[in-house]
Amino acid sequence: MQAGLAAELSNLVADPARILTAASVLDRLSHDFYWYSPVLRALLADKTGDVAVQPISVDEVVAVLRYAGKHELPVTARGAGTGNYGQCVPLEGGIVLDLSLMDKLEEITPDGVAVCQPGLRLGVLETEARRQGWELRMYPSTLVKASLGGFLGGGSGGIGSVAHGGLRDFDTVRAFEVVTMEAEPRIVLHEGAAVHEILHEWGTNGILARIWFALTPAVEWTQFTAVFDSYEQAFRFTESIAVDAAWTKRLATVFEWPIPSFFTPIKHLTRADKALSLIMIASSQAERLRAAAEAAGGEVTFSAAYHGPRTQPLLSDYTWNHTTLWAIKADPAYTYLQCGFSPAECGEQFRLLRARYGLDFLFHIEFMKNGEGEVIPGAIPIVRFTNEERLDEMIAYCRSIGVFVANPHVNSLEDGGRFRSDNIQLRAKQRYDPRGLLNPGKMTSFHMESFDKERMPR
Ligand SMILES: Cc1cc2nc3c(=O)[nH]c(=O)nc-3n(C[C@H](O)[C@H](O)[C@H](O)COP(=O)(O)OP(=O)(O)OC[C@H]3O[C@@H](n4cnc5c(N)ncnc54)[C@H](O)[C@@H]3O)c2cc1C
């Protein structure tokens, strides 16, 4: 079957070398960082596509989708494969649509909107944007490898979110063109509120083919670290910087000990038994920040300019979900959760979690602005995995004390906890992929028999 499929697909793209069938290549292109989760590791390790296609144009994407639709073959989009919930792992085989060669930056408009192909790497965009006086509003800590299409398809926010919110907020994703999986695929423009029908939908209801992504004027940044005797002190200091609009910042992170002990390449910036605060601050405010940290009882261990993604050390490599990677390297029994603490109740929430789980639940805070403009303590705590029941119990307990959890140990959009209750994504799937061929199995509320034409929006 594979050989026949590959032969037919090679008629649809200009160069047959962009049809890939080698088992090792398919295995790589069918997986991401799903193994971060001990639960997903067991479920997804043996799933692969039957063939991978690397289109270089929207016309080729349309041709592949038309073919796949006609033969009822699943199609799973892939950017750089840095997702960490198995989002791009094909559950039912079929075609892996690797968009990494569609990586052009078409232009940056005079008002700072980047017009991009989906495979464009975020690090390339950040570098070119800064050359032109702009920069990314926010990016994942996988900046260097991750693609813009994959960020919109599977990501949520990151460095910059403390000032600009997440991908869903403040009109950062201005518009995109989506290729549909209808009997005759169409290219449909979504702009304004309509982007939310497709954003963060893991490629289940359309393939992003061209993206308008809003940037922000570039700032001269300084990377800064300070250590504090206690987590409480580090948290309060970092929070005071994060919530005060007078500070121009891109990152405000806190780690309790022993998390900093996992960061071996920057060991010299940490101190044994001390909590670490890591901040990206406007260089014009760096000296004032040093004074503020010292006044709060901290010892400043680093303060140096950021020159773009190639800066060494690149402190964002230790933040957001990179923290989890360092923890797993230090001890494979660690895994993680994705949480949001309550700004008013977090002191009590920290206390309750410590009392219940001790050092099996380690605090890693990422301050971020929510859609209402309030800066809140987001968190990617490092937790010790013993078994799935205990992990589920931890999640249930967090929720019972008012801590929001987006569960990263599930492989469906709905179970992750960020699916919209107004069902606009499901309705987009019913419209654009009525046969359920795009990344099947990931949007579990979609059933072909539930497809009800009467209730379809026009
Ligand atoms: C160490 C580490 C740190 C991370 N840190 C962060 C972080 O700070 N913030 C964050 O948000 N995420 C983070 N992530 C998750 C991930 O790196 C980002 O979301 C990243 O932007 C995904 O980009 P990608 O190109 O690798 O996407 P992929 O993993 O290739 O794809 C992600 C999803 O999008 C879909 N997709 C890809 N391209 C398209 C397209 N053109 N059209 C439609 N759907 C598409 C895929 O099918 C998949 O479901 C992290 C992951 C790791 C492993």
pLDDT grade for 449, boundaries at 50, 70 and 90: low
Q: What is the mean pLDDT of residues 209-219?
A: 98
pTM confidence score: 0.96
The residue to mutate among 176, 207, 321, having the most atoms of ligand 1 within 8 angstroms of its beta carbon, is 321
Which residue's C-alpha comes closest to atom 16 of ligand 1?
A: 83
Ligand 1 mean position, distance from CA 200 (Å) = 9
Check if 161 has its Cβ closer than 6 Å to any atom of ligand 1.
no
Answer whether 121's CB lies under 8 Å from 147's CB: yes
Check if 283 has its Cβ closer than 6 Å to any atom of ligand 1.
no
Strand partners, 223: 280, 304
Ligand 1 mean position, distance from CA 121 (Å) = 11
Q: What is the mean pLDDT of residues 429-441?
A: 97
Check if 238 has its Cβ closer than 6 Å to any atom of ligand 1.
no
Ligand 1 mean position, distance from CA 428 (Å) = 21
Check if 149 has its Cβ closer than 6 Å to any atom of ligand 1.
yes
Q: What is the pLDDT of residues 111-157, one digit of tens each?
A: 999 999 999 999 999 999 999 999 999 999 999 999 999 999 999 99
Check if 210 has its Cβ closer than 6 Å to any atom of ligand 1.
no
CB atoms within 10 A of CB 455: 10
Ligand 1 mean position, distance from CA 152 (Å) = 7
Ligand 1 mean position, distance from CA 351 (Å) = 33
At 57, list the tokens. 């144009």
Which ligand 1 atom sits closest to the C-alpha of 166?
Answer: 11
Dist. CA 171–CA 191, nearest whole Å: 10
| pLDDT > 60? residue 450 | no
At 404, list the tokens. 């929001």
pLDDT grade for 239, boundaries at 50, 70 and 90: very high
Which ligand 1 atom sits closest to the C-alpha of 320?
Answer: 8
Report the mean per-residue pLDDT for the chain: 95
